Structure 1
C-alpha cells in the first residue's frame, strides 16, 4: 500500500512539474521562453545548466579538504600561526553525559545537582566544564585553514572574471538601465556562465560543509545568506538576469577578499599592522559597497528602473525580496563591523565580533589560568606563591632597612648640630 502511495505522489509531482516553469512565474508579461531561443544555445542561459553546480560543489568540498590537509599547515607556519596549549578535562562519564546531552554551560542549580551526583566541589565542576568547552574550541590552524581557501576563491574568481570578460567595456556595467534593454534577447558571455557556476558551486559547498565548519555567533545569518544567494543566482540565471546578477556577485566578492585576508593575518604572529590595515580597508569597502552602492544602485535598478521596460510579475517580487534579505543581513553585519571599528579606535580590538563565541567558550579563559593552575598542581602553585611572597618580603625588608638607616643618619646629624 505504501509503494502505491509513493507512486501516486511521484505522478502528482510530475504533473505539477510543468507548472514550475510556467512563464508567468519567471518572465515578465509578454515575454516567453521562445523569445530566448532567438539566441544561440551557447549565448543563452538554460535551466539545465544549473546541474553542473552540484559536481562543482562536491569538487570544492574535496579541494578544501586537500587544501586544509596539505597546504594550510605550511602556510600557517610561514605566517607564524601557533595553537594554544589546552588542558584536557579529567574523564567523568556523568559530567560528559550532561555536557553532551543537556548543556555546555550549566546553571547554578545544575551545578548543585552535579555536586551531589559526582561528589565534587563547585570549583571542580566549573573548572571541568571550562576545560571541556576549551577542548571543543577550534584551534588557530583550523581557523586559518578555513579563511585561506575562502580568500583564494574570491580572489581567483575576480581575476578570472576580469581576464576572461569584457564587462568593463560594456555600457550596462556603468549605465544600469542597459541591464534591461532588449530583454530577454541579451547574449550571455562564457565568462558570465563560468562565474555563475563557480559561485553556485562554492555556496553549495558551504552548505554541504556547514556541519563541520566553525560555528560562529552569526551562524543562522550565514545559513540564510547562503540559501538566499543560491536562490538568487539560480533565478537570475534562468530568467536571464545575468547582467544584474553579475554586478551583485562582484560587489560581494570585492569586500570578502579583504575580510578573509584580514583573518589570515590576524591568526599569525607579528602581522598586527598588516591585519589592522586590511581591516580598515575592508570596513570602508564593506560599508560603501553594501550600505551605499548595493541599495542605491542594485536594488534601485531592479526595483525602479526595471519597471521602465516591463510590468511587475511574480519573479520581480521574488527577486527583489531576496535582495532585501541580503540588505538586511548587510545591515546586521555592518553593526558588528562598526562595533569593531569603535574598539579599534579605542585600541581595544582583539578579535572578530563574529568570533567571540565561536565555540561558546568563555572569554576570560586566559585570565583564569592562575585559578586552573591551583587545581592542576597544588605543589607548583604553592611554590610559586612562596617565591613571590619571599620576594615581596625581601623588598619590604630592604625598604624598611633603608628607611631606618636614613632616619638614624638624619638623627645623628641633628645631634651633632645641636652639640656644636
Structure 2
C-alpha cells in the first residue's frame, strides 16, 4: 500500500499545489478520466482490426492489388540444412566472413551457394507483396482519415496557432469531446499495431518499431492522465502527415509504378524534414522544454519523464533520417530506390528453383 501511495503521489504526477481531487472529472469540470484508457482504446483497437482483417483486406485492398498486378506468391523453403539453419538463426542472411569460411569447409558448398540458401531462407519467411500492399493500404486509409480528423479537430483550437496556449491555465484545462475522440482513436490504432506486431514476420528494425509503438502509447496515455492533452494532440497531428506519401510510394512500388513511387518519395522527404526535423523539435519540443516552466511551475518528476519520452521519439526520427539518407544515396548510385526506409528490402534476391549440392559427409573423410 505504501508503494502504491508513493507511486501515485500528487507530487510526482501533477504540479505543486494541486491534488488528484482537484483534477478529477465532475459535473462542470470535464477533466480527462484515466479509467477511459483501460476501456475505449481496446474497444476501438478490436473494431479497427476487425474492419481491417474481415472486410477491407479481403474485399477491398486485395482485389485492388490483384487488379494492378501485385503478386501473391510465397517463396519456397530451401532444402533442409541443419548447419545453415543454425547460422541463419544467429546471423540471418549476413554471417561474418570467418563463419562463412568455416561453414564452407564443413558442408562443402561455396560461398555463393551458402549466400543463396540464406537469402532463400529469409525470403521464405516474408509475407507476399499482396499482403504488404494490403497492409500499406490499411495504414494509408487510417493516416489520411486521421490526418483530416486532426485538422478538423484543431481548426478552432488556439494552441494550434500559438503553442504557448498549451500551458496557459495548466493543469486546469477542460477536455473537449473532439480531443477525447482524437486521443482514443490514436491509442486504439497503435494498440492494434502493437498486437499484430507479434504475429507478423520480423524485420531488421522490428525492435525499433516496437519501441516506437510502446513510446507512442505510453506518451499519449501519460499526457492524457496528467492533462497535457493540448501539447499531446499537436504531437499526434505533426506525426501522422509524413507517413502518407511514404505509404503511397510503397504502394506504387508494389504496383510497379516507378515514376509515381519516386515522386511520392520526394514528397515524403520534404514532409519528413518539415514535420519531424522542423516543426516537432523547433516548435513542440522547444515549447515543452523552454516555455512550459515559464508559464507554469512545471518542475516535478512527470515533467522530466514526459520530456524524456519526447526526446526518445526525436532520437528515433534521427535514426530513420539516417536510413532515408542511405536510401537517397542508393538512389543516386544505382537505378532503383527502396521506398520503405524503416524496414528491410521488399524482396530479397532468391531463386526458389536453385539446385544445391549434397552436403559433404565429413565422417566418411575421417
> TM-score with structure 2 length normalisation?
0.84
Alignment of 1:339 onto 2:326: yes
Structure 1 unaligned runs (5+)? 1-13, 377-420
Q: 1:111 to 1:152 in 2, by over 3 A?
A: same
Q: Which residue of 2 aligns with 1:199?
A: 186
1:345: Cα distance to partner?
4.8
Alignment of 1:288 onto 2:274: yes
1:23: Cα distance to partner?
1.1
Mapped to 1, the partners of 2:249 and 2:29 lie a distance apart of 39
Q: Which residue of 1 aligns with 2:105?
A: 112
Q: 1:156 to 1:111 in 2, by over 3 A?
A: same
Mapped to 2, the partners of 1:278 and 1:124 lie a distance apart of 37
Q: Does the Cα contact within 8 Å between 2:190 and 2:217 map onto a contact in 1?
A: yes
- Aligned mate of 1:241, from 201, 204, 228: 228
Q: Does the Cα contact within 8 Å between 1:72 and 1:148 map onto a contact in 2?
A: yes
- Aligned mate of 2:71, from 54, 65, 82: 82
Structure 2 unaligned runs (5+)? 357-366
How many residue pairs get aligned? The number is 349
Q: Does the Cα contact within 8 Å between 1:336 and 1:353 map onto a contact in 2?
A: no
Q: Which residue of 2 aligns with 1:160?
A: 149
Q: Which residue of 1 aligns with 2:44?
A: 56
Matches within 5 A, 1:145-156: 145-156=134-145
- Aligned mate of 1:324, from 311, 323, 344: 311
RMSD of aligned C-alpha atoms? 3.0
Mapped to 1, the partners of 2:116 and 2:313 lie a distance apart of 41
1:327: Cα distance to partner?
0.6
Matches within 5 A, 1:91-240: 92=80, 94=82, 98=86, 104-105=92-93, 107-108=99-100, 109-115=102-108, 127-163=116-152, 165=153, 167-240=154-227
Q: Which moved further from structure 2: 15-24 or 141-150?
A: 15-24
Q: Does the Cα contact within 8 Å between 1:39 and 1:187 map onto a contact in 2?
A: no
Mapped to 1, the partners of 2:29 and 2:254 lie a distance apart of 45
Q: Which moved further from structure 2: 295-304 or 350-359?
A: 350-359
- Aligned mate of 1:348, from 318, 335, 340: 335
Higher gyration radius (CA): 1
1:103: Cα distance to partner?
5.5
Q: Which has the higher helix share?
A: 1
Q: Which moved further from structure 2: 321-330 or 106-115?
A: 106-115
Q: 1:355 to 1:250 in 2, by over 3 A?
A: closer
> For residues 125-144 of structure 1, what are the alpha-carbon distances to aligned partners after superposition, in whole Å with 9 as ceiling and x for unaligned?
55444433332233211211
